Structure formats: structure tokens, C-alpha cells
């Protein structure tokens, strides 16, 4: 397709109306979710979680524990989905892969000098190849925000394209780190560049910068995905990450997705939550729905 693999023409992009975006988000947040739909929404959100551990102090033991949790989120509840993926640093991919053998949970690796992205392009590509070799099913790359903010859009385009090439068949998620992009206009531009350069997913944040995922930013990215789909027929996935801690917020995100992209995107292949504490809150809400009793974190495993 000829529009692909070249930098998008920003003259075609509708300018972002910040007030309008905020207004739409707040209106969608007021949707009331009825009890019957709530249970389905909670389970759906759980199946879309990427359980994440990205600390300097991560150990193989902790990753194994996380992988166990990914497969058996809460053993006392029957018919509960497992999460979508486990997200770790490249050096722990092998451990995660072994622990998840036999399940259909993916292993995602953050690469390209996560979280800053400040490294030479060669060394960043090297890291991606290493992670792919170790068995990662998905690569989460970061863009160089410095270059992007300087207006070097070609640089951003090239780094995403080069990373995609290194990934081969492995899914590529591009982290825009929207907390550092300053304006919604920039978020839209970065989303477009990433998608045209070959991203399979676009992702808001590393989780290391505040603010992380916010709903206005997510809405802008979802609209970029929608416009890209209209133009090319290709469905790109979306992953808000960081700062989503409770079920209520998660369900609000699902509403945003449904209203912007439609039902097709409401599945783990096209929508993910990057969060470490969300899964437990979802579990607590599921048990609350089943028993009618508010739950305590004391009775849920801490990853």
C-alpha cells in the first residue's frame, strides 16, 4: 500500500480541539454501567491486562511468581480469564517464557533503552534482537522524545521502522511517552508516525514518567487509530499504561474504546492495559460482584 512506509502528511490531519477532547471524555465517563454488563467488563479488562514488573531490582523469582499469577489470577474464583501478557525487561524474557510454557500468555519485553530511549540506534536495535532471540512475543519500544520534540519526525519514523524490521513477525508496541510530549497535537503526530512506520500497537507511557496514561491522551490516540483504519484497512492496537489503578477507570477506558473504535477492538489482540496493580483491583471487584461483600487486599496475592 503506497501510503504506508512513508511519513504521513500532517496537512491531512484534523487539528486537535483540546476542549472538545476533554468534553467528550467527561461525557463518556458519565455512562452508567449496569450490573449485568459490569461483570463482563471486569472479566474483559482482566483478560486485557499486561502484568508488568519493570524494576531495577527484579529477580527471576519475582518474574516466576508474576507468571504464576498471570495464569491463575485468583484460584478461588472459577471461570476467570488469564491475563494477556507478562511484561519484563529483556534479560528476564527467558525466565518468563519458561514459566509460561503451555499457556497462551505472551511475553512482552521492553527494549530500545527503555525508559529513556537515549542510546545509539545500533545498540537499541541490538537489544531488540536480543529480546526476540530470547523468545519475546511482543516488543515494547520507546521513541526518542528528544528528537521528536526537536521536530525531527524523520528520525522518529526511521527508528520505529528499523525496530519493526528487527522484530520480524514479533508484535511491536511503540511507547510514545505522552507525559513528555506536552500537547495532544504532538500525541496525534507521534501516533501517526508510529503507525505509518509499522507499529502493531501504540502505547501511551513507560510508567516511569508522570502523568502516565490519561483518558484525553488515550482518546486522541484511539482517533488516530480510527483514521488510520479508514485509510488503510489495518487495525492497530492500543495500550494505555501506567496510572490505571482501579476497575472503575478501566471500565471507563473500555467505554472510550467501544465508542471510538467499536466492538472489534474490545479484545486482547487489539487493546491492552499496562498496569501492575489494576489486576488485583479487578479481582477484588469480581469477588465483590459475586459475594456482595467488599473485599480487602489482605486476601489477594501481591504478584
Partner 1 sequence: MSKRLDVLKTYKIYINGQFVRSESGHYLTLTNKSGEQLANICRSTRKDFRQAMVAARGAQGGWSGKTAYNRGQILYRMAEILEGRRAQFIHELSLEGASAKKAEAEVDAAIDRLVYFAGWCDKYQQIFSSVNPVQSAHFNFSTPEPTGVVSIIAEEKSSLIGLVSMIAPVIAGGNTCVVLAGQRNAMSACSFTEVIHSSDVPSGVINVLTGLKSELISHMSSHMDINAIFYTDSDTDSKKLIQENASLNIKRVVFEETDDWMDERHENPYIILDFQEIKTTWHPVSV
Residue 38, all three cell numbers: 459490569
Q: Write the burial class of residue 232 (CB in 10 Å: 0-12 exposed, 13-18 middle, 19+ buried).
A: middle
Total of residues contacting partner 1 (CB under 8 A): 8
Q: Which of 192, 203, 227, 281 is catalytic?
A: 203
Exactly one of 13, 65, 277, 295 binds partner 1 (CB under 8 A); that residue is: 295
Instruction: Tell me the window of 14-22, 182-190, 236-244, 292-300 that interacts with partner 1 (CB under 8 A).
Output: 292-300
Query: Of 19 and 293, which CB lies nearer to partner 1 in the complex structure?
Result: 293
How many C-beta atoms lie closer than 10 Å to residue 281's C-beta? 22
Interface pattern 194-213 for partner 1 (x via CB under 8 A): --------------------
> Which one of residues 118, 150, 297, 302 is an interface residue with partner 1 (CB under 8 A)?
297
248 part of the active site = no
Q: Which long-range contacts (CB under 8 A, 24 or more apart) does 133-137 make?
A: 134/90, 134/93, 134/94, 134/97, 134/109, 135/93, 135/94, 135/97, 135/107, 136/90, 136/93, 136/97, 136/107, 136/108, 136/109, 136/170, 137/85, 137/106, 137/107, 137/108, 137/170, 137/171
Tell whether residue 29 is a contact of partner 1 (CB under 8 A). no
For residue 273, which of 289, 296, 249 has the smallest C-alpha distance?
249
Is the CB of 190 or the CB of 275 nearer to partner 1? 275
Asked if residue 32 binds partner 1 (CB under 8 A), the reply is: no
Instruction: Clarify whether 189 is annotated catalytic.
Output: no
**β strands within 186-267, DSSP E:** 201-203, 237-239
**293 is a contact residue toward partner 1 (CB under 8 A):** yes
Beta-carbon count within 10 A of 157 CB? 22
Reduce the DSSP state of residue 87 to 3 states and report it: strand
**Binding string, 251-290, against partner 1, x = CB under 8 A?**
----------------------------------------
Q: Which is nearer to partner 1, 2 or 75 (CB)?
A: 75
Among 9, 55, 299, 302, binds partner 1 (CB under 8 A): 299
137 has catalytic annotation:
no
Q: How far apart are CA 124 and CA 291, in angstroms?
A: 49
Q: Quick one: 10 or 299, whose CB is closer to partner 1?
A: 299
Give me the catalytic one of 50, 137, 140, 227. 140
Return the active site residues: 140, 203, 239
Chain contacts with partner 1 (rule: CB under 8 A): 292-299
Amino acid at each position: 500500500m503506497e501510503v504506508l512506509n512513508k511519513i504521513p502528511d500532517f496537512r491531512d490531519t484534523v487539528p486537535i480541539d483540546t476542549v472538545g477532547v476533554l468534553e467528550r471524555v467527561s461525557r463518556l465517563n458519565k455512562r452508567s454501567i449496569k450490573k449485568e454488563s459490569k461483570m463482563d467488563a471486569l472479566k474483559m479488562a482482566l483478560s486485557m491486562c499486561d502484568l508488568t514488573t519493570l524494576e531495577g531490582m527484579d529477580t527471576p523469582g519475582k518474574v516466576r511468581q508474576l507468571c504464576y499469577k498471570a495464569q491463575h489470577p485468583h484460584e478461588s474464583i472459577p471461570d476467570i480469564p488469564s491475563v494477556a501478557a507478562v511484561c519484563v525487561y529483556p534479560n528476564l524474557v527467558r525466565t518468563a517464557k519458561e514459566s509460561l510454557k503451555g499457556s497462551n500468555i505472551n511475553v512482552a519485553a521492553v527494549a530500545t533503552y527503555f525508559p529513556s530511549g537515549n542510546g545509539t540506534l545500533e545498540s537499541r536495535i541490538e537489544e531488540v534482537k536480543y529480546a526476540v532471540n530470547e523468545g519475546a512475543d511482543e516488543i515494547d519500544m520507546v521513541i526518542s522524545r528528544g528528537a521528536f520534540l526537536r521536530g525531527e519526525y524523520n528520525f522518529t519514523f526511521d527508528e520505529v521502522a528499523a525496530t519493526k524490521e528487527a522484530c520480524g513477525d514479533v508484535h511491536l508496541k511503540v511507547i510514545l511517552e505522552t507525559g513528555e510530549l506536552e500537547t495532544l497535537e504532538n500525541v496525534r503526530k507521534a501516533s501517526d508516525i508510529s503507525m505509518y512506520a509499522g507499529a502493531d500497537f501504540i502505547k501511551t507511557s513507560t510508567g516511569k514518567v508522570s502523568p502516565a496514561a490519561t483518558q484525553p491522551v488515550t482518546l486522541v490516540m484511539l482517533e488516530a487509530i480510527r483514521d488510520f483504519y479508514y485509510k488503510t484497512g489495518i487495525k492497530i492496537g492500543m495500550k494505555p499504561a501506567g496510572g490505571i489503578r482501579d476497575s472503575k477507570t478501566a471500565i471507563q477506558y473500555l467505554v472510550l474504546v467501544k465508542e471510538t473504535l467499536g466492538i472489534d477492538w474490545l479484545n486482547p489482540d487489539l487493546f491492552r492495559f499496562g498496569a501492575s496493580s489494576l489486576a488485583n483491583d479487578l479481582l477484588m471487584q469480581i469477588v465483590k460482584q459475586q459475594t456482595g461483600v467488599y473485599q480487602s487486599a489482605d486476601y489477594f496475592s501481591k504478584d
